[in-house]
Amino acid sequence: MRSGEELDGFEGEASSTSMISGASSPYQPTTEPVSQRRGLAGLRCDPDYLRGAFGCLKVAQVILALIAFICIETIMECSPCEGLYFFEFVSCSAFVVTGVLLILFSLNLHMRIPQINWNLTDLVNTGLSTFFFFIASIVLAALNHKAGAEIAAVIFGFLATAVYAVNTFLAVQKWRVSIHQQSANDYIRARTESRDVDGRPEIQRLDT
């Protein structure tokens, strides 16, 4: 039989061997945090955006464009129909595009696609919607047959034009601010890099 000292030495050797094998094992448990999954499960509505100026304007644009589209769809007869078709296309397009942007901004989905300049995207959308809603409303007002649905569509078309115009003005201001901030950040970064080079003479000697 083995003595107590031999057994203690054997147990210590076995424990050290198991520690070494456990450290080298690729299946040992890790304490690193699991990365957050990117999916629809983590989506949350941003109430601050919806309560802000851009959120309220986006909601109003979607509602007005939808009402204008519904009004124009209730018209059964038209002659000529070009103005009605053009207004129908503009109101439907504005409703769909603005609705998609509202969902992206309110759920912060645009933050997951930083490659797109969303300030410029919103500016282009609101600018084009303002222009085409204004033209479509004028054409429909000039060619309408004094029907109630046509008059309602014209009224909501001009209301949508006004809301889109306000959003365009605010989007231009926001885009200018972002451009100035980007320029300031680039200037600060360039100054910091130049100071680092001036403080390291070995880099200057290599350049020369």
pLDDT at 42: 63
Spatial separation of the C-alpha atoms in residues 133 and 164, rounded to whole Å: 9
pTM: 0.67
pLDDT at 40: 56
Please count the CA atoms within 13 angstroms of the CA of 116 that sit on its side-chain side: 14
pLDDT at 127: 95
Cβ atoms < 10 Å from Cβ of 9: 12
Rg (CA), the chain: 32
pLDDT along the chain (208 residues), means of 10: 48 47 48 47 79 93 96 85 91 96 90 86 94 95 82 94 95 83 70 64 54
The per-residue DSSP string of 20-61 comes to: HHHHH-TTS---SPPPPP-SGGG----HHHHHSHHHHHHHHH
Which residue is listed with tokens 């645009």? 110
pLDDT at 98: 96
Nearest to 143 by CA among 69, 68, 87, 76: 87
